[in-house]
Structure 1
Amino acid sequence: MLLWINGPFGGGKTQTAHEIRRRLPGSVVCDPEHVGFGLHRMLPPGLREDFRDLASWRQGVVEVLDLALRKHDGVVIVPMTLTDPDHFAQTVGRLRELGHDVRHFTLLAERETVLRRLRERRFGRLLRFLAGKNAALRHQSWAVRQLDHCLERLREPCFAEQLWTDRTSVPRTADRIAVLAGLTLRPNNEGALRTRLRQARVGLRHIRFD
């Protein structure tokens, strides 16, 4: 089974994916952004537009996920924003055509909730400053510019099933996805402090410098 977790940038996809992986034995997170940023590195900086528009990205993601689903025994979890119905058909739809059990969920929240979550990411600015790079800051600014478009498009029926997360914690969102997908997660026995520290580590690992 593949769990595709969609949603706006800053909507909690990555945190939710890693929460499910933590509590679902045998599961793995496969992040299509790695393919996209690899393609970006091949291009001159001035040509690095939205990698989702590259047919090579969509084809590569399908090929890699098809391999993972055929060779890995556990659940594959994919946190990735898709807002274009054609791109959706060429990735999620194509994987379904190949015979895979793909469960798709879109995490939604009100605009101010997503903006607050993006602001909370700014703890990484010091690290980016010390590293002498500002690409991650540009990525965050790009995410804000894309927000209204994402929230509008992702409410469309083709991106079901939509889950509203404004008043739901990451562990509870993971629980909801598991129930809808027919999966059983280990109980969440973490305390609040440990959860915050672990989520901070996940966030740090996913700061983009390229």
Structure 2
Amino acid sequence: MLLWINGPFGGGKTQTAHEIRRRLPGSVICDPEHAGFGLRRMFPPHLRGDFRELTAWRQGVAEVLDLVLSRHDGVVIVPMTVTDPGHFAETVGRLRERGHDVRHFTLLAQRETVLRRLRERGFGHLLQYVAGKNPGPARESWAVGQLDHCLRQLALPEFAEHLWTDHSTVPRTAERIAVLSGLTLRPSTEGALRTRLRQAGVGIRHIRFD
């Protein structure tokens, strides 16, 4: 089974994916952003754009996930924003055509909620900027610029199943996805502080430097 976790930038996809992986033995995360940023780095800076527009990225993602699903016994988790129905058909749709069990979920929240989450995520980037390690919160500015488009597109029926997360924690959202997919997560026994520290670590590890 493949769990594709969609949603706007800053919507909680990565945190939810890592929560599921932590509590579901045998599961793995396959992040298409790795391939996307690799392709993006091949371009000179002035030609870089949204890697999701590259046919090579969409075809490559479908091919790699097809291979992983064919050879890995556990659940495969994919946190990735896809808002174009055509791109969705070339990735999620193609995997389903090849006979794979793909469960797709879109994490949605009110605009104000996502903006707050982006500000919180941007604070970690700002710390990196102060330390001289990256160009600052420009990526959050890009995400804010994409937000209205993302929320409008992802509300379309083809991007269901929709899960609203304004009043849900990451562990609860992960549990909802598991129940809807017929999966059982291990109980979470850690306290609130440990959860926040672990989630902060996940956020820091996923800071992009380009």
Structure 1 length-normalised TM: 0.98
**Aligned 8 A contact 1:128 1:209 in 2:** no
Aligned to 2:134: 133
**Aligned 8 A contact 1:8 1:150 in 2:** yes
Aligned to 1:71: 71
C-alpha offsets along residues 12-67 of structure 1, whole Å, 9 cap, x if unaligned?
Answer: 00000000000000000100000000001100111111000000000010111111
CA distance in 2, matches of 1:88, 1:205: 27
What's the offset of the Cα at 1:89? 0.2
What letter is aligned with 1:120?
A: E
CA distance in 2, matches of 1:67, 1:190: 35
DSSP-derived class of the 2:104 partner: strand
Aligned to 2:155: 155
What's the offset of the Cα at 1:132? 4.5
Aligned to 1:178: 178
Matches within 5 A, 1:13-92: 13-92=13-92
What's the offset of the Cα at 1:182? 0.3
Deviates more, 1:33-42 or 1:123-132: 123-132
Count of aligned residue pairs for this structure pair: 209
C-alpha offsets along residues 72-99 of structure 1, whole Å, 9 cap, x if unaligned?
Answer: 1100000000000000000000000111
Q: Does 1:123 align with 2:136?
A: no
What letter is aligned with 1:6?
A: N
Deviates more, 1:76-85 or 1:122-131: 122-131
CA distance in 2, matches of 1:3, 1:129: 36
Structure 2 length-normalised TM: 0.98
Unaligned runs of 5+ in 2: none
Deviates more, 1:144-153 or 1:123-132: 123-132
What's the offset of the Cα at 1:131? 3.2
Aligned to 1:145: 145
CA distance in 2, matches of 1:123, 1:35: 24
What's the offset of the Cα at 1:130? 2.1
C-alpha offsets along residues 127-186 of structure 1, whole Å, 9 cap, x if unaligned?
Answer: 13323431x622211100000000011010000000000000000000000000000000
CA distance in 2, matches of 1:40, 1:51: 6
Aligned to 2:167: 167
What's the offset of the Cα at 1:190? 1.2
Identity of aligned residues (%): 76
CA distance in 2, matches of 1:131, 1:202: 20
CA distance in 1, matches of 2:133, 2:188: 38
Cα RMSD of the aligned pairs, angstroms, is: 0.9
